[in-house]
Amino acid sequence: MSLIKIIIGSTRPQRFGPQVAGWLNELAQELAGSAAEPVRFEILDLADLNLPLLDEPVPPAMNQYQNEHTKKLSSIVAEADGYLIVTPEYNNSIGGALKNALDYVFYEWNYKPVAYASYGSAAGGSRAVGHLRDVAGEMKMFDIREVVVISNYWNQLDANGKFVPSEDQIGAAKAMIEQLIFWTQEMKAPRAKLAAK
Protein backbone atom coordinates (compact mmCIF):
# COMPACT_ATOMS: atom_id res chain seq x y z
CA MET A 1 0.00 0.00 0.00
CA SER A 2 1.37 3.42 -0.98
CA LEU A 3 0.44 6.61 0.85
CA ILE A 4 0.23 9.99 -0.86
CA LYS A 5 -0.25 13.11 1.25
CA ILE A 6 -2.09 16.11 -0.16
CA ILE A 7 -0.44 19.08 1.53
CA ILE A 8 -2.43 22.27 2.09
CA GLY A 9 0.27 24.91 1.66
CA SER A 10 -1.47 27.91 3.21
CA THR A 11 -2.42 28.43 6.83
CA ARG A 12 -4.24 31.77 7.15
CA PRO A 13 -7.90 32.06 8.23
CA GLN A 14 -10.40 32.10 5.30
CA ARG A 15 -7.82 30.54 3.00
CA PHE A 16 -8.90 28.91 -0.25
CA GLY A 17 -6.40 26.02 -0.13
CA PRO A 18 -8.69 23.50 1.64
CA GLN A 19 -11.22 23.75 -1.20
CA VAL A 20 -8.64 22.75 -3.80
CA ALA A 21 -7.26 20.00 -1.57
CA GLY A 22 -10.77 18.68 -0.89
CA TRP A 23 -11.64 18.56 -4.58
CA LEU A 24 -8.37 16.82 -5.51
CA ASN A 25 -8.76 14.37 -2.64
CA GLU A 26 -12.21 13.32 -3.89
CA LEU A 27 -10.87 12.85 -7.41
CA ALA A 28 -7.82 10.98 -6.11
CA GLN A 29 -9.98 8.58 -4.09
CA GLU A 30 -11.86 7.72 -7.30
CA LEU A 31 -8.68 7.21 -9.33
CA ALA A 32 -7.03 5.18 -6.58
CA GLY A 33 -9.61 2.47 -7.27
CA SER A 34 -8.14 1.79 -10.72
CA ALA A 35 -4.45 2.03 -9.73
CA ALA A 36 -2.14 -0.92 -10.49
CA GLU A 37 -1.45 -1.42 -6.79
CA PRO A 38 -3.27 -0.19 -3.66
CA VAL A 39 -2.78 3.49 -2.91
CA ARG A 40 -4.26 5.76 -0.27
CA PHE A 41 -4.57 9.55 -0.24
CA GLU A 42 -4.69 11.64 2.91
CA ILE A 43 -4.82 15.41 3.52
CA LEU A 44 -2.02 17.03 5.50
CA ASP A 45 -3.05 20.51 6.62
CA LEU A 46 -0.04 22.60 7.63
CA ALA A 47 -2.37 24.75 9.76
CA ASP A 48 -2.91 21.74 12.07
CA LEU A 49 0.83 21.41 12.72
CA ASN A 50 1.30 24.88 14.15
CA LEU A 51 5.02 24.77 13.36
CA PRO A 52 7.17 27.62 14.68
CA LEU A 53 9.69 29.15 12.28
CA LEU A 54 12.51 26.64 11.85
CA ASP A 55 14.16 26.42 15.26
CA GLU A 56 16.46 23.40 14.99
CA PRO A 57 20.07 24.22 15.96
CA VAL A 58 21.53 21.73 13.46
CA PRO A 59 20.64 21.88 9.72
CA PRO A 60 18.02 19.22 8.84
CA ALA A 61 20.35 17.41 6.42
CA MET A 62 22.46 16.43 9.47
CA ASN A 63 19.48 14.48 10.80
CA GLN A 64 19.83 15.45 14.46
CA TYR A 65 16.41 16.71 15.39
CA GLN A 66 16.01 18.04 18.91
CA ASN A 67 12.49 19.44 19.10
CA GLU A 68 9.36 17.37 19.60
CA HIS A 69 7.50 19.24 16.82
CA THR A 70 10.32 18.39 14.40
CA LYS A 71 10.28 14.72 15.36
CA LYS A 72 6.51 14.68 14.88
CA LEU A 73 6.79 16.35 11.46
CA SER A 74 9.58 13.94 10.55
CA SER A 75 7.33 10.92 11.06
CA ILE A 76 4.37 12.59 9.29
CA VAL A 77 6.50 13.31 6.21
CA ALA A 78 8.41 10.01 6.34
CA GLU A 79 5.33 7.80 6.29
CA ALA A 80 4.24 9.15 2.88
CA ASP A 81 5.54 7.72 -0.41
CA GLY A 82 4.53 10.75 -2.47
CA TYR A 83 3.03 14.21 -2.14
CA LEU A 84 0.61 16.51 -3.88
CA ILE A 85 1.33 20.09 -2.82
CA VAL A 86 -1.55 22.55 -3.06
CA THR A 87 -0.10 26.05 -3.07
CA PRO A 88 -1.25 29.63 -3.42
CA GLU A 89 0.99 32.29 -4.93
CA TYR A 90 2.18 34.94 -2.50
CA ASN A 91 4.21 37.76 -4.04
CA ASN A 92 5.28 35.72 -7.03
CA SER A 93 6.32 32.68 -4.98
CA ILE A 94 5.14 30.16 -2.40
CA GLY A 95 4.01 31.23 1.06
CA GLY A 96 6.29 31.26 4.10
CA ALA A 97 4.38 28.51 5.96
CA LEU A 98 4.94 26.03 3.14
CA LYS A 99 8.62 26.88 2.69
CA ASN A 100 9.13 26.63 6.44
CA ALA A 101 7.54 23.16 6.54
CA LEU A 102 9.62 22.00 3.56
CA ASP A 103 12.83 23.29 5.16
CA TYR A 104 12.20 21.61 8.53
CA VAL A 105 13.22 18.08 7.54
CA PHE A 106 15.27 16.66 4.68
CA TYR A 107 15.74 12.90 4.30
CA GLU A 108 12.04 12.36 4.79
CA TRP A 109 11.31 14.10 1.44
CA ASN A 110 14.18 12.51 -0.51
CA TYR A 111 13.56 10.37 -3.60
CA LYS A 112 9.80 10.77 -3.49
CA PRO A 113 7.55 12.03 -6.29
CA VAL A 114 5.73 15.33 -5.87
CA ALA A 115 3.00 16.97 -7.94
CA TYR A 116 1.54 20.47 -7.65
CA ALA A 117 -1.78 22.26 -7.81
CA SER A 118 -1.70 26.04 -7.62
CA TYR A 119 -4.13 28.92 -7.56
CA GLY A 120 -3.98 32.70 -7.59
CA SER A 121 -4.90 35.59 -9.83
CA ALA A 122 -4.05 35.75 -13.54
CA ALA A 123 -0.97 33.51 -13.35
CA GLY A 124 -2.85 30.90 -11.30
CA GLY A 125 0.06 30.34 -8.97
CA SER A 126 2.29 29.02 -11.74
CA ARG A 127 5.21 31.17 -10.57
CA ALA A 128 4.93 29.57 -7.14
CA VAL A 129 5.07 26.15 -8.81
CA GLY A 130 8.20 27.17 -10.71
CA HIS A 131 9.88 28.01 -7.40
CA LEU A 132 8.65 24.76 -5.85
CA ARG A 133 10.31 22.81 -8.65
CA ASP A 134 13.64 24.42 -7.73
CA VAL A 135 13.15 23.55 -4.06
CA ALA A 136 12.12 19.98 -4.88
CA GLY A 137 15.29 19.46 -6.94
CA GLU A 138 17.44 20.49 -3.99
CA MET A 139 15.55 18.11 -1.74
CA LYS A 140 16.12 15.20 -4.16
CA MET A 141 12.43 14.89 -4.98
CA PHE A 142 11.06 13.82 -8.36
CA ASP A 143 8.54 16.26 -9.63
CA ILE A 144 5.67 15.51 -11.95
CA ARG A 145 5.30 17.69 -15.02
CA GLU A 146 1.50 17.51 -15.13
CA VAL A 147 0.06 20.34 -13.06
CA VAL A 148 -3.22 21.98 -12.09
CA VAL A 149 -3.24 25.77 -12.35
CA ILE A 150 -6.32 27.69 -11.26
CA SER A 151 -6.42 31.34 -12.36
CA ASN A 152 -8.77 33.85 -10.75
CA TYR A 153 -10.56 31.09 -8.82
CA TRP A 154 -13.06 33.59 -7.43
CA ASN A 155 -14.79 33.46 -10.84
CA GLN A 156 -15.50 29.77 -10.27
CA LEU A 157 -17.34 29.92 -6.95
CA ASP A 158 -21.02 29.01 -6.77
CA ALA A 159 -23.63 30.87 -4.71
CA ASN A 160 -22.39 29.09 -1.56
CA GLY A 161 -18.76 29.98 -2.22
CA LYS A 162 -17.92 26.43 -3.30
CA PHE A 163 -15.28 25.99 -6.00
CA VAL A 164 -16.67 24.47 -9.21
CA PRO A 165 -13.81 23.09 -11.36
CA SER A 166 -13.97 23.35 -15.16
CA GLU A 167 -13.76 20.32 -17.44
CA ASP A 168 -10.23 21.37 -18.39
CA GLN A 169 -9.19 21.55 -14.74
CA ILE A 170 -10.72 18.14 -14.03
CA GLY A 171 -8.84 16.69 -17.02
CA ALA A 172 -5.57 18.25 -15.86
CA ALA A 173 -6.10 16.99 -12.32
CA LYS A 174 -6.78 13.44 -13.50
CA ALA A 175 -3.65 13.40 -15.66
CA MET A 176 -1.57 14.73 -12.78
CA ILE A 177 -2.95 12.29 -10.20
CA GLU A 178 -2.48 9.33 -12.54
CA GLN A 179 1.16 10.26 -13.07
CA LEU A 180 1.66 10.82 -9.36
CA ILE A 181 0.19 7.42 -8.47
CA PHE A 182 2.26 5.66 -11.14
CA TRP A 183 5.57 7.21 -10.12
CA THR A 184 4.88 6.92 -6.41
CA GLN A 185 4.46 3.19 -6.85
CA GLU A 186 7.42 2.83 -9.23
CA MET A 187 9.81 4.70 -6.92
CA LYS A 188 9.19 2.52 -3.89
CA ALA A 189 11.53 -0.28 -4.97
CA PRO A 190 14.57 1.96 -5.69
CA ARG A 191 13.99 3.75 -2.38
CA ALA A 192 13.96 0.45 -0.53
CA LYS A 193 17.21 -0.51 -2.30
CA LEU A 194 18.85 2.73 -1.15
CA ALA A 195 17.61 2.27 2.40
CA ALA A 196 19.08 -1.24 2.53
CA LYS A 197 22.59 0.06 1.69
Ligand X SMILES: Cc1cc2nc3c(=O)[nH]c(=O)nc-3n(C[C@H](O)[C@H](O)[C@H](O)COP(=O)(O)O)c2cc1C
113 touches ligand X by CB under 6 A: no
* Cα–Cα distance, 128 to 110 (Å, whole number): 21
Torsion region of 92: left, alpha or beta (phi above 0 gives left; psi -120 to 50 gives alpha)? left
One-letter identity of residue 47:
A
Q: Which amino acid is at 163?
A: F
Q: Does residue 64 bind ligand X (CB under 6 A)? A: no
Q: Which of 7, 60, 50, 53 is closest to 180 using CA atoms?
A: 7
Q: Which of 10, 25, 70, 169 binds ligand X (CB under 6 A)?
A: 10
Q: Evaluate whether 41 touches 4 at the Cβ level (below 8 Å).
A: yes
Contact region for ligand X (CB under 6 A) — 10-18, 37-45, 71-79, 134-142? 10-18
Question: Cβ-closest residue to ligand X?
Answer: 120
Kindly state the smallest distance separating residue 153's Cβ from ligand X, in Å: 7
CA–CA distance, 27 with 148 (Å, rounded to integer): 13
Other Cβ atoms closer than 10 A to 145: 10
Considering only the stretches 9-17, 25-33, 53-61, 106-114, report the one whose residues sit in contact with ligand X under the rule CB under 6 A: 9-17
Nearer of residues 20 and 139 to ligand X, judged by Cβ: 20
Is 12 a binding residue for ligand X by CB under 6 A? The answer is yes
Verify binding: residue 17, ligand X, rule CB under 6 A: yes
Q: Which is nearer to ligand X, 118 or 185 (CB)?
A: 118
121 contacts ligand X (rule: CB under 6 A) = yes
Q: Does position 74 bind ligand X by CB under 6 A?
A: no
| Residues constituting the chain | 197
Which of helix, strand or coil describes residue 183? Answer: helix
By the criterion CB under 6 A, which residues form the site for ligand X?
10, 12, 15-17, 88-92, 120-121, 123
